[in-house]
Amino acid sequence: MNRITHSPHAHASVSIGTVMGTVLLALTPATLFGFWLYGWPAVNLWAVSLIAAIVGEAFVVRLQDRAVRPVLMDGSGILTAWLLAISLPPFAPWWIAVLGSLFAVVIGKQVFGGLGQNVFNPAMAARVMLLISFPLEMTTWVAPAPLGSAQAPSWMESLRITFLSQPIDGMASASLLGHVKTEFTRGVGLDQALVGYYEPMDMLWGSRAGSLGETAAVLLLIGGLFLIVRRIITWHAPFAMLLGVVVPALLFNAIDGNHYAGPMYHLLSGGLMLGAFFIVTDPVTSPNTALGQFIFGFGCGVLTWIIRTWGGYPEGVAFAVMIMNTVAPIIDQYVKPRIYGRDRKGVALPVKKEA
Amino acid sequence: MKLFDLRGGVHPEGKKDLSADRPIRALPLPKRLYISLQQHIGAPASPVVSVGERVLKGQLIAAAQGAVSAPIHAPTSGIIAALGDHVAPHPSGLQVPAITLESDGEDKWIATQAVDDPFALTPEDIAARVGAAGIVGLGGATFPAALKLNLSRNSGVQTLIMNGGECEPYLTCDDHIMRERAGEIIEGIRLIAYAVSAKEVLVGIEDNKPEAIAAMQAAAKESAVKIVVMPSMYPMGSEKQIIQVLTGKEIPAGGRPADIGVLVHNVATAFAVQQAIRYGKPLISRIATVSGGAIKQPCNLEVLVGTPVEELIAYTGGYTQPAARLVLGGPMMGQQFTHTDVPVVKGTSGVLALTSKEIGQAEPSPCIRCSTCVRACPVGLLPLEMASRIRASDLASAVAFGLKDCIACGSCSYVCPANIPLVHYFNYAKGDLAAQERAKLKQEATKKLADARNERMARIERERAEAMAKRKAAKEARERAAAAAKAATEVV
Amino acid sequence: MFTAVISLTILGSAMGLFLGYSARRLEVEGNPLVAEIQAILPGSQCGQCGFPGCAGAAQALADRNAPITLCPPGGRAVVQALSLKLGIEANLSDVKDSVPMIAEVKEEICIGCTRCFKVCPTDAIMGAAQQIHSVFREACTACGKCEEVCPTESIKLQPIPVTLQSWHWHKPLAQGATA
């Protein structure tokens, strides 16, 4: 006997696969730009991350005696690995990608009970793990060497860079945030530190040293707006995160312009754009309500600015997101929508008579 | 007129074009009618006819029972063939008491009492006639209309809202009754407004029904009835939501519309009221939409109450392909049914035969907490949190999250990318809680009985013991007396 | 050092006296929990739990000597109430989700012996000697005592028939369960 099915007998044409697929599509421009900017090593690293995540997840799901296909087909593991890959230094060795992907998918997600159960954003958890375990590999940046240019490593060279960790000659560079932090420790102020390093237009387009896919602020912004238009995410969390960085940056920049950088500098550097549109909007680890998401995003922004400004690490997005992930359930506990016919406290509205 | 916002809501594919340009046709007289005695909220009606009796169209065949109930009339003339159980238009597929009527094909009306000037009647008289005609809310809730009229008149209702929203996809029955019978509906609306002495009368119609809006506006020209065009959104036609959109007010939790001075009726109910008051005709038929991807010729039919659904489907030319699911009502809140001999009841707004492509249901996958359901909920609930609690059998927590405020509109299930049957979880929890409540009440009652019995047993025991003691005492006294007598004789 | 010994001694005896006094003054008579648990139980003294009546069962529950799933007539509602009262996690899947039952008389073979009538703890059976008995549904707790004493096996526990009023949706299958 086929069981009677409960209403509704119609369904919107969405599935988890289409949601994840749309996010991947939104990430594609910035990723392709990263491939072009850093050449074949970036492609290698991205491919290794994805393969490691798929194989690792399949293995773990098999261990749990669950069907592998539906888990892989939902695309969440691929998205996690993709996000992790584009937040890695483009010339990082292969084992960084493998370790990171496995950590993200297995420890970050499946150990918590699989999709929807994890407390921390898996990609950010993996990035933090890598950053504190392998600080050297995770902060070795290279100057852009676009495909087709003279400095670009050939395909064979790229294999040596990715798989044999061959030292890079003359390409080492520093990310803007890292550079400024180093200069501060030498007692150099912003007015000198930024010279030759900070070109807002380059920052906007992404032609600078940085993570594989985090540099192209404009392309990430376009991807994020695409997701908002497609109603995959809402504007609350991204806007609040950017706001959370801009407000303190404006304030402190006005107080001491030589020591605290302005909002533009913060907006365009590091992983802020990626974080704002692709990380804090992760449904699993963020609050449920619009107001909750706003608070969550704002907290991520402020913490990012604090870590960048006063913390030990040059970049703080990953740490900020993980800290706010722990707060998300508390936000959900206190920020609930008002129920129809009740006030904010859940008490039934009074019966008014207008006789 | 300023409209207020609906919270949440979804935009399901309308699919109304399937039957939107099909005028209402009357279904040919069926041979056998199965008239359910439970076609309304409240106590089932009790039959007043016996097997073999000849009845005329419109004759009372089952009387209302108790305070909340509605009478039922013969939909056509014929002979009562049976009083027994018939499958109910309900997802359980259980049987309910029903009257089986064998039609004689003559369709002969009983003498009816027409009223030339209905506005000369007293409001109480109008309510009484509406009650006697067996009119219930035709929007689907099937609450006895006369009760609502009396309640609203007594609590001083200011605003009468007529619901022409018809936000459910596929359904076009209200659309067509408004297009084709606007004059009668407006008169019905004025009668209802008069019966509850409402100061303001608003008819809310979704903007996807331009012909109905035009017809209603033309018919309402000379009257105080105001036609309000509302945006098309689901669940606009839900009572709580249409009040919110038209007045900006909310019904207090656990309350009724009358608490905020509002009465809501469906436009089809207004038509039934007009027919009952002006022509004395009881509610014995309704307009229903037959539609869906598996139906050959979707259409709007006027059908007699009690007609088996298979007759409707057969009349429209049958199926183009095997239906993946048969539904009574709209796709968002309608109920699946499996037996095609279920009868049409007063609340049947549509019969849908859907293909699996239209249903679009896939295997549920884990919740990714995307909170699309939170955004879709018109009540402001957290469906994902409630469902996860219910899944873990923690019904009390789900209640704390507002389970009892859920209107079961299905918006959350509709948008869920993980295909989680959220409303199913909620209705399971509501049903289980109600069953627990019933069990608790029964337990309290049986406990009182048990205590009473124990007390009685103890009393009987005590009385017996007392009686024994008395007998013993008497016996001893007798013995003593005997002994004394004996001693006395011995002395003597 | 001397002062220390003295002060500690005084402190110790003062506290001891205070404790001794409070123990007498604030003594709780009996365990109020037993009465509260007894209020939750059906009170039909059917003995299906194996304890002498509901009072015995309540005592055992209060002493944590019995599982909270001990009461078959109480069903899931009682298990949940007990779980709340005693703070014990209720494993409802353990409660044999016994379909609610009710006693029913097979009228053809009832001889009207009144035995069932006499043992029924809730007076749920109506009838007199030499007359067919019938069960008052609202009062029957399905304790089964009547079934035991019936000489002709005419009274039997039957599942309560589902009606439109009592029917409700089943719990949705867990995701993946059908795959």
Helix H, strand E, coil C: the string for B117-148 is: CHHHCCHHHHHHHHHHCCCECCCCCCCEHHHH
pLDDT at C176: 47
Nearest to C77 among B418, B439, B451 (CB): B439
Nearest to B445 among C138, C162, C175 (CB): C138
Q: Which segments within A83-148 are labelled E, that is strand?
A: 141-142
H helical segments located in B166-262 = 173-180, 182-196, 210-220, 239-247
What would the two tokens of residue C83 be?
A: 């779980």
What would the two tokens of residue A282 be?
A: 């992760």
Return the closest-CA partner of residue A305 out of A255, A251, A258, A256: A251
What would the two tokens of residue C7 be?
A: 């002060």
Does B457 lie at the interface with C, CB-CB under 8 angstroms? no
Return the closest-CA partner of residue C133 out of C99, C157, C166, C108: C108
Residue B116 CB neighbours (<10 A): 6
Q: Collect all residues from C whose CB is shorter than 8 A from any CB in B.
A: 42-45, 74-78, 80, 92, 100, 120-124, 138-141, 162-164, 166-172, 174-176, 178-179
What would the two tokens of residue A52 be?
A: 């490691």
Cβ within 8 Å of residue A339, ≥6 positions away? A346, B253, B379, B380, B381, B402, B405
Residue at A111: amino acid letter: V
Cβ within 8 Å of residue B235, ≥6 positions away? B9, B167, B241, B332, B378, B407, B409, B411
Cα distances from C99 to residues B120, B135, B426, C72, in angstroms, run 57, 38, 22, 11
Which chain B residues are closer than 8 Å to A11 by Cβ?
359-362, 413-414, 419
Cα distances from B386 to residues A291, B69, B401, B406, C169, in angstroms, run 19, 34, 6, 10, 16
Nearest to A7 among B253, B334, B358 (CB): B334
Phi, psi dihedrals of residue B221, rounded to the nearest 5°: -50, -50
How many angstroms separate the CA atoms of B56 and B73, rounded?
Answer: 9
Least confident of A307-321, A338-352, B200-214: A338-352
Phi, psi dihedrals of residue B233, rounded to the nearest 5°: -160, 145
Q: Which of residues 26-85 of B touch C (CB under 8 A)?
A: 38
Does B199 lie at the interface with C, CB-CB under 8 angstroms? no
Cα distances from B487 to residues B473, B475, B478, B484, in angstroms, run 20, 18, 14, 5
Stretch C9-19: mean pLDDT, rounded?
A: 94
> Across the interface, do A6 and C176 touch by the CB < 8 Å criterion?
no
pLDDT at B451: 86
How many angstroms separate the CA atoms of A289 and A331, rounded?
Answer: 9
8 A C-beta contact, residue B424 and residue C172: yes
Q: What is the pLDDT of residues A270-285, one digit of tens each?
A: 899 999 999 999 999 9
Which chain B residues are closer than 8 Å to C169 by Cβ?
91, 424, 427-428, 431
Q: What is the pLDDT of residues A104-141, one digit of tens each?
A: 999 999 999 999 999 999 999 999 999 999 998 888 88
Q: Judging by DSSP bridges, how do beta strands B159-164 and B262-266 pair with one another?
A: parallel
| Bond before B231 cis per omega within 30 degrees | no
Q: Is the pLDDT of residue C99 over 70?
A: no
Q: Judging by DSSP bridges, how do beta strands B78-87 and B95-103 pair with one another?
A: antiparallel
The angle subtended at Cα A158 by Cα A157 and Cα A163, nearest 5°, is: 105
Q: What is the pLDDT of residues B224-235, one digit of tens each?
A: 999 999 999 999
pLDDT at B376: 95
Nearest to B251 among A70, A289, A341 (CB): A341
pLDDT at A319: 95
8 A C-beta contact, residue B202 and residue B262: no
pLDDT at C31: 72
How many angstroms separate the CA atoms of C143 and C101, rounded?
Answer: 9
Does B479 lie at the interface with A, CB-CB under 8 angstroms? no
Does B432 lie at the interface with C, CB-CB under 8 angstroms? yes
Nearest to A8 among B244, B405, B414 (CB): B414
Which DSSP letter does residue C98 get?
P
8 A C-beta contact, residue A88 and residue A274: no
Residue C151 CB neighbours (<10 A): 10
Phi, psi dihedrals of residue A12, rounded to the nearest 5°: -60, 145
Which chain B residues are closer than 8 Å to A13 by Cβ?
360
The CATH architecture of the domain made up of C32-86 is Orthogonal Bundle (1.10)
Return the closest-CA partner of residue A291 out of A254, A355, A334: A334
Q: Is the pLDDT of residue C9 over 90?
A: yes
Classify C101-159 by CATH class: alpha beta
Tally the C-alpha atoms within 13 A of residue C158's C-alpha that lie toward its C-beta. Answer: 13
Which DSSP letter does residue B18 get?
G
Q: What is the pLDDT of residues B243-254, one digit of tens each?
A: 999 999 999 998
pLDDT at A194: 79
In chain C, residues under CATH classification 1.10.15.40 are: 32-86
- Write the DSSP string, B408-429: ---HHHHH-TT---HHHHHHHH
8 A C-beta contact, residue B111 and residue B242: no
Bridge partners (DSSP) of residue A250 are none
8 A C-beta contact, residue C155 and residue C116: yes
pLDDT at C179: 34
pLDDT at B398: 94
How many angstroms separate the CA atoms of C163 and C102, rounded?
Answer: 14
Q: Which of residues 41-70 of A touch C (CB under 8 A)?
A: 66-67, 70
Nearest to A13 among B244, B325, B360 (CB): B360
8 A C-beta contact, residue B306 and residue B344: yes
Q: Is the pLDDT of residue A215 over 50?
A: yes
SS3 of B337, please? Answer: strand
pLDDT at A221: 94
Does A283 lie at the interface with B, CB-CB under 8 angstroms? yes
How many angstroms separate the CA atoms of C118 and C146, rounded?
Answer: 9
What would the two tokens of residue A93 be?
A: 């060795």
Q: Is the pLDDT of residue A1 over 50?
A: no
The CATH architecture of the domain made up of A16-334 is Orthogonal Bundle (1.10)
Cβ within 8 Å of residue B222, ≥6 positions away? none
Interface partners of chain B (CB pairs < 8 Å, 3 or more) are: A, C
> Across the interface, do B439 and C166 touch by the CB < 8 Å criterion?
no
| Closest residue in chain C to residue B451, using alpha carbons only | C43
pLDDT at C72: 78
H helical segments located in A134-281 = 135-138, 155-163, 176-185, 190-193, 200-205, 217-229, 236-255, 263-268, 272-274
Nearest to B449 among C123, C171, C178 (CB): C123
Tally the C-alpha atoms within 13 A of residue B2's C-alpha that lie toward its C-beta. Answer: 3
Q: Is the pLDDT of residue A33 over 70?
A: yes
Most trustworthy range by pLDDT among A174-188, B125-139, C16-30: B125-139
Which pLDDT band, with edges at 50, 70 and 90, does A176 fall under?
confident
> Across the interface, do C179 and A67 touch by the CB < 8 Å criterion?
yes
Q: Is the pLDDT of residue A290 over 70?
A: yes
Angle between helical axes of B182-196 and B145-154 (0-180°, round to 10)? 40
In chain C, residues under CATH classification 3.30.70.20 are: 101-159
Q: What is the pLDDT of residues C156-165, one digit of tens each?
A: 888 888 888 8
Which chain A residues are closer than 8 Å to B158 by Cβ?
354
> Across the interface, do C43 and B447 touch by the CB < 8 Å criterion?
yes
Q: Which of residues 329-388 of B touch A (CB under 8 A)?
A: 331-336, 338, 352, 354, 358-363, 365-371, 374-375, 377-382, 384-385
Domains along chain B with CATH numbers: 16-27+110-304 (3.40.50.11540), 372-432 (no CATH)
> Across the interface, do B92 and C171 touch by the CB < 8 Å criterion?
no
> Between C153 and B53, whose confidence is greater?
B53
Which pLDDT band, with edges at 50, 70 and 90, does A355 fall under?
very low
Angle between helical axes of A217-229 and A16-38 (0-180°, round to 10)? 170
- What is the mean pLDDT, run by run of 10 residues, along chain B of 492 residues? 88 91 92 93 92 94 92 95 91 90 92 90 93 91 91 89 94 95 95 93 94 94 92 92 94 91 94 95 95 93 94 92 92 92 93 92 89 94 94 91 94 94 95 89 85 88 92 90 84 66
Tally the C-alpha atoms within 13 A of residue C105's C-alpha that lie toward its C-beta. Answer: 27
Cα distances from C16 to residues B160, C13, C22, C23, C163, in angstroms, run 76, 5, 10, 11, 66
Return the closest-CA partner of residue B53 out of B30, B33, B32, B83: B83
Which chain B residues are closer than 8 Å to C168 by Cβ?
427-428, 430-432, 434-435
Bridge partners (DSSP) of residue C17 are none
What would the two tokens of residue A8 be?
A: 């509704």
Q: What is the pLDDT of residues C54-86, one digit of tens each?
A: 888 888 888 888 888 888 777 777 888 888 888
> Across the interface, do B250 and A349 touch by the CB < 8 Å criterion?
yes
Residue C80 CB neighbours (<10 A): 21
Q: Which helix (H) or strand (E) holds B389?
A: helix B383-391
What would the two tokens of residue A276 be?
A: 């704002």
Does B421 lie at the interface with C, CB-CB under 8 angstroms? yes
Q: Is the pLDDT of residue C116 over 50?
A: yes
Distance (Å) from the alpha carbon of B391 to chain A's nearest alpha carbon = 14
